[in-house]
Amino acid sequence: MREWFRKHRLLLALIAIPYIILMVVLTVRVEYVLTAPGGLSIVEKQITFADVDTTSEGSFHTVYVMSLRRPSVFQWLLSHIDDGIDSRAITPIERDEDPVDRWRSAQAQRSNAWNAAIILAASSAGLMDEDDWEIHLLVSRIFEYVEPEGVELLDRIVSVNARTDIRDAIDDALNEHACGTLHTFEALRNGDRVEYEIRSQMIDDACRFGIGVTDYYHILDTFDLEYEISQGFIGGPSGGFMQFLHIYNSLTSEDISRGLKIAGTGGVTPEGQITRMGGIKQKVIAAHFSGADVMFVPSGNFAEAEAAFANLRTEMALVEVSVFADAIDYLERWED
């Protein structure tokens, strides 16, 4: 047997080397994120209202993308062949993120997008006033260098150094005190009041606390329109604008859907601003291949969307929007 191996060692090497290379290509992971076209999710199936007829001639759809973290070498190489797939390096911040925290944050963003959509739609329909909702400030990200520990994701910050003007208090704590000082944060967590101290630190030439905070639109019990939102696997804020359009169409007398399959992306604020989102190239491609008649795109993404749109043979209309009224006006003017 030993003599046989010695005699055929060149042949064995020729066989083994490609096999090893193939195993490396298929199994070794690289520190990249791939983004590919996904599909459409119909909004009507995601929310139900009590005593409100949500049927319409057309339909409203959010657009999602497929995201893959740490792909294999093979998948990463394939992404360079398909123009519809983008590849980028994972950032140091993303590398340190806990997957569970990332999921919880994405679901909180999804919930916040629904709340903003409901507030804007109900207010526009005359069913809600400013006393029916309020803004909370939630912890949306925690970095590893936070010292000491105690803060948790989605804590609702209610005071910083006994001040309730929280954003200004954070800025003053970082700019008017020596870096390295301990500061007192008070928060609500699952209805309980908690307190912890966070030390400011010099990170990347700036004094930081190591937490990210974001506005969360909270609807109060005084709003008496009953509704239920289904659970979803797709998180993030990018469905907010299309969710608004469906809700607005359901709560008002005119059906602005015009029998169209309407897709779009973009966050929405209670004031009606449409905010830019990521993955716009893949969303334009997904909307086209899913048969959308119209796709609404935030102004901040429109140049990138037009570049992707130019490479498609499609009858889909690509429409730029910066405020909610842009889409409503477009649909009201629609002619077959």
- pLDDT value of residue 141: 87
Cβ(86)–Cβ(282) below 8 Å: yes
Question: Are 209 and 231 members of one domain?
Answer: no
Question: Are 155 and 205 members of one domain?
Answer: yes
Question: Are 315 and 234 members of one domain?
Answer: yes
Residue 6 lies in a domain: no
Residue 228 lies in a domain: yes
Question: Are 153 and 275 members of one domain?
Answer: no
Residue 29 lies in a domain: no
Per-residue pLDDT of 123-168, as tens digits, reads: 999 999 999 999 999 999 888 777 777 899 999 999 999 999 999 9
CATH number of the domain where residue 199 is located? 2.30.42.10
- pLDDT value of residue 48: 87
Residue 245 lies in a domain: yes
pLDDT (average), residues 70-77: 83
Number of domains into which the chain is organized: 2
pLDDT (average), residues 84-96: 83
H/E stretch holding 328 reads helix 324-332
| Three-state SS at 324 | helix
What mean pLDDT, rounded, does the chain reach?
A: 88
Residue 200 lies in a domain: yes
Q: Which domain holds residue 179?
A: 133-218
Per-residue pLDDT of 265-308, as tens digits, reads: 999 999 999 999 999 999 999 999 999 999 999 999 999 999 99
Cβ(34)–Cβ(75) below 8 Å: yes
DSSP state of 302: H
Residue 29 has pLDDT above 80, yes or no: yes
Q: Which residue has the higher pLDDT, 234 or 167?
A: 167
- pLDDT value of residue 59: 95
Domain end position, chosen among 218, 239, 271 = 218
- pLDDT value of residue 301: 94
Question: Are 44 and 122 members of one domain?
Answer: yes
